[in-house]
Structure 1
Amino acid sequence: MTQSAPVFHSRVNTGSEAFDGNRADMQALVDKLNGLCARAAALSDRARPRFDKRGQLLPRERLGRLLDPGAPFLELCNLTGYLVDTDDPESSVPGSNAICGIGYVSGVRCMVVVDDSGINAGAMTAFSSRKVMRCMDIALDKKLPFVHLVESAGADLFKYQVEMWMDGGGVFARLARLSAAGIPTVTVLHGLSVAGGAYMPGLSDYVIGVRDNGMAALAGPALLKAATGEVAENGPLGGAAMHAATSGLVEYLAEDDGHALAICRDVVASLGWNRHCPQAPDGDFEEPRYSPDELLGVVPADYRQPYDAREVVARLVDGSRFLDFKPAYGVSMVCLQASIYGMPVGILCNNGPIDPDGATKAAQFIQLCDQAGTPLLFLQNITGYMVGTAYEQAGMIKHGSKMIQAVTNARVPRLTLMIGASFGAGNYGMCGQGYDPDFVFSWPNTQIGVMGGEQAANTMSEVLRAGAARKGVEVDEAELKAREQAVIGHYDRQSDAFYTSGRMLDDGLIDPRDSRTVLGILLQICREARDRGTHPNTFGVGRM
């Protein structure tokens, strides 16, 4: 976006009581998010004596040693598993025993997965596999080298689910696909990798093993004895030194974790990965005229309180400048042309439910961005499409379908940021998770579902009253009220951003103030994926 585009003039009073109230509400949600993320780190840190005894680094220390100092690291799926195994919000630990994200290793942007072996020995749960598979899918789509720091006791047999076992095969298949697509895969074998987990190094292109601690075997000593009666020790059975000298599974033998991570950085550097991607031109851009810090006060935590979505955009885009596409037509559907860190982007956001005019406007805007190769950003705060006789007669279904077709089939990168409500088909039209956006992140105030709790309760009541009228019976008002409250509680609990993110209905929760930075990283990742050349082969690199 050139500097000739108009600057948006904010109407937000940052000294108002409403602004302060919004900020306090949103800050409380951000504090909750930070507290939950710290919960996993604190639990893992309790294992420090055991790690120190073995001469090991803790998982997050490994991550710190691997990544380039000071370079950005975008964590993915930070709430995965929260409120899945337990309904107790005070004891549930998010993360699902894996630390995942996109960061720089020796100047190369990589997908990094770290087994959090400080929690339950890194045993995999159902959502651990889903989290890792999501990261592998991103690595394949965005052409990111895949680095895995391995130490896991394998599947959590005490929480066994047959689908968890099936998902394990999906992890291994994705490793094979990455290699065949010309995307390098690098494993550091820090500790145990047994049973199905042995295929993590087995299917990787490069393996660095830590002497004494690294171990990979299809059956560990306990399973081996139970299955065959053979008694074996870790070293001869699957130790890193054995694999480096005898089986050939390990290419590089390291003396300890720090040495292994240094070798890993050298391996990634040796790929010359950045040779295959033209460097982006140095772009001049303005910082927003309005601080992203103000986002906490601009957006109410309660999605039922209206605000102008342009106020959000003005705190995300370069110079707070944008072109407003058809501003007087389909006014509740806001379509804007802007830039973020010098990268052009088409933005769709909501100032109310989508009507027929708004749907046709959005469909045209999406197709224009697709024609120009401009990435799309969907800022979701949507309660749905308009309903009622007038809207049906105006072709709401037809026009809404055109919008959904455009959203689904756009060939440009599509980023979705959930910043408020996300209900019903509005979620679909605004590129919800079911439409495979390249990335979808949420603010902690997000509410998502088929409809809000009160709306669901009112709908249920109308149905029950109509049924009672047909039967000629009286409605028990007290019982009906109790059922309404139960429905509201059921729906609202499942709509909560922390609950839905725990079930991976997004790629993670973020502090609203980090949105511009996160979007800049995502746009860069998408650009690099489009421009990067790779050298695919048929079957991937087989281990010799």
Structure 2
Amino acid sequence: MTVLGSAIDVRSVAHAANRRSMLEKIREIEAEHARAVAGGGEKYTARHRARGKLPARERVELLVDADTPFLELSPLAAWGSEYPVGASIVTGIGVVEGVECLIVANDPTVRGGASNPWTLRKALRAHEIALANRLPLISLVESGGADLAGQKDVFVPGGALFRDLTRLSAAGIPTVAVVFGNATAGGAYVPGMSDHVIMVRGRAKVFLGGPPLVRMATGEESDDESLGGAAMHAGGSGLADGLAEDEYDALRQARRAVARLHHRKAGPGPSAPSVPPLYDAEELLGVVPTDLKVPFDPRDVIARVVDGSDFDEFKPLYGPSLVTGWARLHGYPVGVLANAHGVLFSAEAQKAAQFIQLANRRDTPLLFLHNTTGYMVGRQYEQGGIVKHGAMMINAVSNSRVPHLSVLLGASYGAGHYGMCGRAYEPRFLFSWPSAKAAVMGPQQLAGVLSIVSRAAAEAKGRPYDDEADAALRAAVEAQVEAESLPLFLSGRLYDDGVIDPRDTRTVLGICLSAVHGAPVEGARGGFGVFRM
């Protein structure tokens, strides 16, 4: 039998404590997400509605098929910055007329939907996902262009938004723009470079320069409607392919446009029926210890995520700090790599490299479940080749061509973060649990290293060492690293695609696996570079 058992005792004191801690973290994340959902706040939302307009998320809700999920991406973008949480834009994956699409919606209640540096990064990440997975892109446009106060960080890199639209179109990936209000300056190029454009009569305004700019540049007097109104673009310039009477009609036309795309996935569908796990996802709340130094068995997570809790483990007795094996998730085959005891030794690295090669031979996507302190250090391990073996694993991850999905469950430190396919290694999707942490190393270790180096420098110069100042420095560094390793901080900088409730892990991964099969799923046939054996 390959069905996983479970050692979790849901009645234990430890499980209860872990659960309470996780629920507290979830509430913190939900509170910040609520700030993003609130957009510009009650005042500006009420003003927006008074003009007969729908909020961004309601537009998305009416666009997607009824009773289908919408996987919001990067909802905490810009957290901790000077800009509003959410970055004045909503992005995510939704099903429209049976077709999985990447949806980008400006939130005009936040500074008129103007783009700040985090808006740009979030939109570019959405485009990246659409291109990699061949998802049609639907832009729900209402934006005043760049936030002029931050133009120095938006203008130059912002051209990539329009570049991406043309590259998507050139790759045969449809792009649809629905214009609800202003699309001025750079924002005018979103409909200008989309395959299909729908505008709302009397509301949509698309022009490179509005009446004040035209007056300053040319001396010409003009009004919004004649300069860039929807009726003009539908009957005059030809920019609009469809003229909608109101927002509801615009969204109806957008759905019809998608239905007429006849878009088909390039990858295979599920290879088997979806079978629920044998264990309750609710139990995932108590899996991760409150102290990440305490190990936990990732099989308890796998058993509550994969189909039928069925898992064929690969090399179970070799390199036991890394669990590897084959499973299905919502009917899709996956290869799983999950950290068991934190540290990656040479055996674990070699095992991972072989497993990744096998997944590429089988054209099987890989799922990485992070809880690692990194590769083992010390004289014995350096002499045993940990550098070359760690490099072998990172080489395999870097050159693997099957889709990668990553979930940070606990710690994800050092080069172990890289070997487990961190953000820099371009996983198709990367999510964090509220319990996750990612940094170059743990806060205490990093502060301790700095202390040792400072003490050694003082001794080398023959100077007395100030232990009191050292203690203050260590405390300050620990606090800073701790704050900068937490999910809110990481998600705010788009180092993940969102912080998810552990109970939603199976659903989120199922949506992602379906999305990645929008593109061909083909592994590398060689081409891994030189492995130092």
- Shorter-normalised TM range: over 0.9
Q: How does 1:350-429 map to 2 (within 5 A)?
A: 350-351=339-340, 352-429=342-419
Counterpart residue identity of residue 27, structure 1: L
Counterpart residue identity of residue 28, structure 1: E
Matched residue SS, 1:188: strand
Correspondence for 2:92: 101
Correspondence for 1:288: 277
Paired with 1:132 and 1:96, the residues of 2 have a C-alpha distance of: 10
Paired with 2:29 and 2:453, the residues of 1 have a C-alpha distance of: 38
- Paired residues, number: 520
- Residue 334, structure 1, aligned to residue 323, structure 2: yes
Matched residue SS, 1:524: helix
Structure 1 residue 278 displacement after superposition: 7.5
Paired with 1:483 and 1:84, the residues of 2 have a C-alpha distance of: 25
Paired with 1:321 and 1:181, the residues of 2 have a C-alpha distance of: 38
Contact 2:135 2:518 in 1 (8 A): no
Correspondence for 1:153: 144
> What CA deviation, in whole Å up to 9, does each residue of 1:50-76 have, x standing for no partner?
223322212111111111011121111
Correspondence for 2:74: 77
Correspondence for 1:495: 485
Relative to the length of structure 1, the TM-score reads: 0.93
> What CA deviation, in whole Å up to 9, does each residue of 1:337-359 have, x standing for no partner?
11111221111111221001111
Matched residue SS, 1:522: helix
Contact 2:363 2:521 in 1 (8 A): no
Paired with 1:154 and 1:315, the residues of 2 have a C-alpha distance of: 45
Please identify, of 283-292 and 353-362, the stretch whose mean Cα deviation from structure 2 is larger.
283-292
Matched residue SS, 2:500: coil
Counterpart residue identity of residue 45, structure 2: R
Correspondence for 1:138: 129
- Residue 311, structure 1, aligned to residue 308, structure 2: no
Structure 1 residue 45 displacement after superposition: 5.6
Counterpart residue identity of residue 13, structure 2: E
Paired with 1:483 and 1:45, the residues of 2 have a C-alpha distance of: 40
Structure 1 residue 305 displacement after superposition: 1.8
Counterpart residue identity of residue 125, structure 1: N
In the superposition, relative to structure 1, how do residues 343 and 44 fare at CA in structure 2: closer, same or farther (>3 Å)?
same
Within the candidate set 25, 31, 37, 1:29 is matched to: 25
Counterpart residue identity of residue 14, structure 2: A
- Residue 110, structure 1, aligned to residue 101, structure 2: yes
Counterpart residue identity of residue 172, structure 1: F
Paired with 2:344 and 2:276, the residues of 1 have a C-alpha distance of: 31
In the superposition, relative to structure 1, how do residues 504 and 360 fare at CA in structure 2: closer, same or farther (>3 Å)?
same
Matched residue SS, 2:275: coil
In the superposition, relative to structure 1, how do residues 361 and 15 fare at CA in structure 2: closer, same or farther (>3 Å)?
same
Paired with 1:395 and 1:327, the residues of 2 have a C-alpha distance of: 22
Contact 2:270 2:331 in 1 (8 A): no
Correspondence for 1:517: 507
Contact 1:301 1:420 in 2 (8 A): no
Q: How does 1:249-268 map to 2 (within 5 A)?
A: 249-268=239-258
Relative to the length of structure 2, the TM-score reads: 0.95
Contact 1:130 1:167 in 2 (8 A): no
Paired with 1:72 and 1:297, the residues of 2 have a C-alpha distance of: 26
Query: Moved runs in structure 1, 4+ residues, more than 4 A?
Result: 276-279
Structure 1 residue 473 displacement after superposition: 2.3
> What CA deviation, in whole Å up to 9, does each residue of 1:442-492 have, x standing for no partner?
112211111121111100110111112222222111111111111112211
> What CA deviation, in whole Å up to 9, does each residue of 1:395-414 have, x standing for no partner?
10111111111111112111
Q: How does 1:422-461 map to 2 (within 5 A)?
A: 422-461=412-451
Correspondence for 1:536: none
Paired with 1:176 and 1:528, the residues of 2 have a C-alpha distance of: 19
Paired with 1:226 and 1:149, the residues of 2 have a C-alpha distance of: 30
> What CA deviation, in whole Å up to 9, does each residue of 1:25-51 have, x standing for no partner?
111111111111111222446223322
Correspondence for 1:185: 175
Unpaired runs of 5+ residues, structure 1, are 87-92, 533-544
Paired with 1:288 and 1:227, the residues of 2 have a C-alpha distance of: 65
Contact 1:302 1:445 in 2 (8 A): no
Q: Which has the higher contact order (CA 8 A, sep 6+)?
A: 1
Contact 2:412 2:439 in 1 (8 A): yes
Correspondence for 2:528: none
> What CA deviation, in whole Å up to 9, does each residue of 1:316-340 have, x standing for no partner?
1112121221111111111121111
Correspondence for 2:37: 41
Matched residue SS, 2:390: helix
Within the candidate set 448, 458, 467, 1:477 is matched to: 467
Q: How does 1:232-271 map to 2 (within 5 A)?
A: 232-271=222-261
Counterpart residue identity of residue 12, structure 1: I
Contact 2:403 2:521 in 1 (8 A): no
Paired with 2:2 and 2:362, the residues of 1 have a C-alpha distance of: 21
Counterpart residue identity of residue 520, structure 2: R
Matched residue SS, 1:80: coil
What's the Cα RMSD here?
A: 1.6
- Residue 60, structure 1, aligned to residue 52, structure 2: no
Contact 1:80 1:504 in 2 (8 A): yes
Within the candidate set 120, 135, 138, 1:129 is matched to: 120
Identity of aligned residues (%): 46
Unpaired runs of 5+ residues, structure 2, are 523-533
Paired with 1:150 and 1:385, the residues of 2 have a C-alpha distance of: 46
Structure 1 residue 240 displacement after superposition: 0.7
Correspondence for 1:539: none
Correspondence for 1:349: 338
Counterpart residue identity of residue 156, structure 1: D
